[in-house]
Chains A and B, each alone.
Chain A
Amino acid sequence: MMDEALRILTFQSGFNSAVVVAGTAALGLAGGTVGTFLLLRRRALVSDALSHATLPGIAVAFLAGAALGLPERSLPLLLAGAVVSGVAGLLTVQLLSRFTRLTEDSAIGAVLSVFFGLGVVLLSVIQNLELGGQAGLKTFILGQTAAMAQGEAIAIGLLAAGAALAVALLFKELRVLAFDPGFAAVQGWPVGALDLVLMGLATFVTVIGLQTVGLILVVALLIIPPAAARFWTDRLPALTVAAAVIGALSGWLGATLSALFPKLPAGAVIVLVAGGFFLVSFLFAPARGLVAAALRQGRLRLSFAERRALTDRLAGRPVEGAMALWLRLRGYARNGALTPAGRGAALAAERDRRLWERFLADYPALLPAHANWGVDPIDSVLPGDMVRLLEERSTPS
């Protein structure tokens, strides 16, 4: 089992499975890249409506293929049908939110469920027809990497790389579009056309991902990688690359897992892997993660409490409870009195408090420039001459 997993991961388990794994990784890469800008432009849910709206198109395209007497299901025809009805769903959302009083989220909810319902009805009609090949249609809902033929996997990989390349080319344009569309328009960028390109790329990723991930979950490839990446960085280029990497890793690991367990729906496995990356990022990312934030908050509270206790001790007031224990542990107090180290720390804390107080009173307008004012030692935040000035003005009498 482990051997096989390793072979698939390292592309040594036969050409076919290697191609499928690489194609799925490319899909994840494209999803992360395009998804970064969808997320920043606040279009993530719109693409969910888009992917659900592809189902009736797939069904109709299947019926059309059967009526035309095509021998077996033709993937290009099915995907063309998916594009047409996906775009129709997208336009319906736009029209509803623009020309009625519906907000965009209710328009999305309505369109998503109605189109999907229509697709499900059409599918069950198809199941009862005397035709061949309808069984394969179900893979479009939940996805199946095993269903992917070698040629399809290569095509998916190339198309996905093309989508990522398009984002790289339009990086600057998409950045200003997502941050400040009004400003972009004043500068003469065709904001409507750029939005169209972005939604077009999302449609593109959705449609080429339909077979692998399935239409219910394909939106996750667009949303989860950038959402996870957002915990790691504050810079857009790094964010885009991180989202692409997380997406590609999810596709790669997910496709490998689903090759090992062919009974599991591939889409769900890939999305769960991406979800794992999200969970790890959300909890453990260094600056924005939950654990780091809790630690930061805890350290801040502890440092304030410690300084408070030290100055209390210095002034001869008693310190009790956990803080007394903490001071002993830190070597600041012994037998109810401050040690030399404790006395030094207490004097420093007292001086910091006094000088920050002075600074706050004399230069309130300068505060916003000093992010950690009042928290860090004053000498490490303010320039030396400023500290000397405050020192002169606040000499205790």
Chain B
Amino acid sequence: MQYLWRTPGSRTAPEEASPIGPPPLEIRGLTVAYHRRPVLWNVDYAAPPGGLIAVVGPNGAGKSTLIKACLGLVPRVSGAVEVFGRPIAKQRRLIGYVPQRESVDWDFPVSALDVVAMGRYGKIGWFRPVTRAHKEAALHALERVGMADFAKRQIGQLSGGQQQRVFLARALAQEAQLYFMDEPFAGVDAATERAVLQVLRDLDAAGRTVICVHHDLQTVSDYFDHALLLNTRVVAQGPVGRVMTPDLLSRTYGGRPMPAPAAVEAS
């Protein structure tokens, strides 16, 4: 994959200006605190255009908070976030979002298709109902995750993995350029894992950028091109081959020596 790897520091140098415009996501000096305790500390990051990026770090490292702060779902103490060179509030249409599955009530009275159609709401606009064309787009998104047969099912009757795929389909229905996904592989069955991975690869092939909180160190290098190692601050960032090293991982996971990813026991 050919792209221009830029760090925030080199951003101003004109000879290094990217020929394909501003990066999909640029974070500068982002700090987030709950009450008075910082959860993210002075995070700088520029995502390379097109590519699958894993956000990796121990529990409580601020991985989900990073995504939520980028999306404006938790207040920032300081820092700026830009999407394709403009503040995120102006770029909503370019963003797709897969929240954690536990974040909603699955007994809610909607079908799988209803949920996926929510991905189209941004394109539909105020007061208008969901038209047939948008429902078809939603159904197509369900097909892409292998869930078309379950379109009419109430979401509470789906298995955990199927619910995860519904969330993924909803993000696909957004037809975004930049996707944020919070643990899409967490607690899913093998079929869902394959479906999610296939969708990630399709998005990558279509030139989209996906930023994915990921908890399974073993699969980071197989599934993703880049990794952002996070533990309150950015420990390392770059292509997986360069950053998924025992040394950097041990620094991310609290300074204890860590075995190489291949040797990590499945937990």
Q: A182-B73, A187-B122 are in contact. Are A172 and B95 (CB under 8 A)?
A: no
Is B20 interfacial (CB-CB < 8 Å)? no
Q: Which residues of A contact B118 (CB under 8 A)?
A: 175-176, 179-180, 183
- Measured as residues with beta carbon below 8 angstroms from the partner, the interface class of chain B is 35 or more
Across the interface, name the chain A residue whose C-beta is closest to B100.
Answer: A182
Q: Which residues of B contact A239 (CB under 8 A)?
A: 109
Q: Within B176-221, which residues are at the interface with A (CB < 8 Å)?
A: 180, 189-191
CA distance A169 to B128 in the complex (A): 8
CA distance A233 to B103 in the complex (A): 23
Q: A180-B104, A182-B99 are in contact. Are A234 and B122 (CB under 8 A)?
A: no
On whether the beta carbons of A186 and B73 are closer than 8 Å, the reply is: yes
Q: A182-B73, A186-B97, A188-B92 are in contact. Are A368 and B162 (CB under 8 A)?
A: yes
Chain A nearest Cβ from B107, distance in angstroms: 9
On whether the beta carbons of B159 and A179 are closer than 8 Å, the reply is: no
Q: Which residues of B contact A234 (CB under 8 A)?
A: 109, 111, 154, 156
On whether the beta carbons of A365 and B189 are closer than 8 Å, the reply is: yes
On whether the beta carbons of B121 and A235 are closer than 8 Å, the reply is: no
Tell me how many residues of A have a C-beta within 8 Å of chain B: 30
Is A40 interfacial (CB-CB < 8 Å)? yes
* Per-position 1/0 for B116-136, Cβ under 8 A of A: 001001101011111000000
Across the interface, name the chain A residue whose C-beta is closest to B96.
Answer: A186
CA distance A179 to B107 in the complex (A): 10
Is A236 interfacial (CB-CB < 8 Å)? yes
CA distance A186 to B118 in the complex (A): 12
Q: Which residues of B contact A169 (CB under 8 A)?
A: 127
On whether the beta carbons of A235 and B109 are closer than 8 Å, the reply is: yes
CA distance A170 to B253 in the complex (A): 47
On whether the beta carbons of A371 and B157 are closer than 8 Å, the reply is: yes
Q: Which residues of A contact B92 (CB under 8 A)?
A: 186-188
* Per-position 1/0 for B121-155, Cβ under 8 A of A: 11010111110000000000000000001000010
* Per-position 1/0 for A265-301, Cβ under 8 A of B: 0000000000000000000000000000000000000
Q: Which residues of A contact B129 (CB under 8 A)?
A: 171-172
Is A230 interfacial (CB-CB < 8 Å)? yes
Q: Which of A40, A178, A186 meets B71, CB within 8 Å?
A: A186
Chain A nearest Cβ from B105, distance in angstroms: 8
On whether the beta carbons of A175 and B124 are closer than 8 Å, the reply is: no
On whether the beta carbons of B124 and A188 are closer than 8 Å, the reply is: no
Chain B nearest Cβ from A366, distance in angstroms: 8
Q: Which residues of B contact A175 (CB under 8 A)?
A: 110, 114, 118
Is B50 interfacial (CB-CB < 8 Å)? no
On whether the beta carbons of A230 and B109 are closer than 8 Å, the reply is: yes
**What are the 4 A-B residue pairs with the smallest beta carbon separation, nearest first?**
A368-B159, A188-B92, A234-B154, A187-B122
20 contacts between A and B (CB under 8 A): A171-B129, A172-B130, A173-B126, A175-B114, A175-B118, A179-B104, A179-B108, A179-B115, A182-B73, A182-B99, A183-B97, A186-B71, A186-B73, A186-B97, A188-B92, A188-B122, A230-B109, A235-B110, A235-B154, A366-B191
Chain B residues at the A interface, C-beta cutoff of 8 Å: 68, 71-73, 89, 92-93, 95, 97, 99, 103-105, 108-111, 114-115, 118, 121-122, 124, 126-130, 149, 154, 156-159, 161-162, 170, 174, 180, 189-191
